[in-house]
Amino acid sequence: MKNLTALFVLALLILVSSIATSQTKVEWKEKDNFHGIMSETFHPAEEGNFTPIRTRCGEMVEKAIAWQKSAIPADFANVAGIQENLSKLVAGSEALNTKIKANCTDAEILTNLTALHDIFHSVVGLCKTNDK
């Protein structure tokens, strides 16, 4: 009987494990592209290095626009929330780019970039599929 119980538990664990690993992460290339530029500019700015954001803010705007224009994966439940936050991300990126071109202070950049970083994480948090 102990062997039968152990076999049942093992079979159950294998089944649960296979179900968990069969669920795939939804890929969204434009999200990943924006994440790259955000990561490469935000984290240096946190440490006082504003050169990456000053030189690449135009690229951030381009990536934000591309992300906004891309198709939201069909599996995502909160399409309206994602669209709203992507609009904020584009507007904020464009505003930051304008400020940087006008030679704003590092403190202004950090404030605006931090807000964009927060919006980015809001979008990522909304990227949940209907089945979860």
Measured distance CA(73)–CA(124) in Å, rounded: 13
Q: What are the structural domain ranges in the chain? A: 28-126
Q: Tell me the CA distances in angstroms from 78 to 14, 75, 83, one per residue in order.
A: 32, 9, 9
Q: Mean pLDDT, to the nearest integer, of 63-80?
A: 94
pTM across the whole model: 0.79
Confidence check: pLDDT of 10 > 50 = no
Stretch 24-49: mean pLDDT: 93
Q: What confidence score (pLDDT) does residue 5 get? A: 53
Residue 23 has pLDDT above 90, yes or no: no
Q: Which amino acid is at 73?
A: P
Give the C-alpha separation, 103 to 63, whole Å.
22
* Alpha-carbon span 7 to 81, nearest angstrom: 46
Confidence of residue 2 (pLDDT cuts 50, 70, 90): low
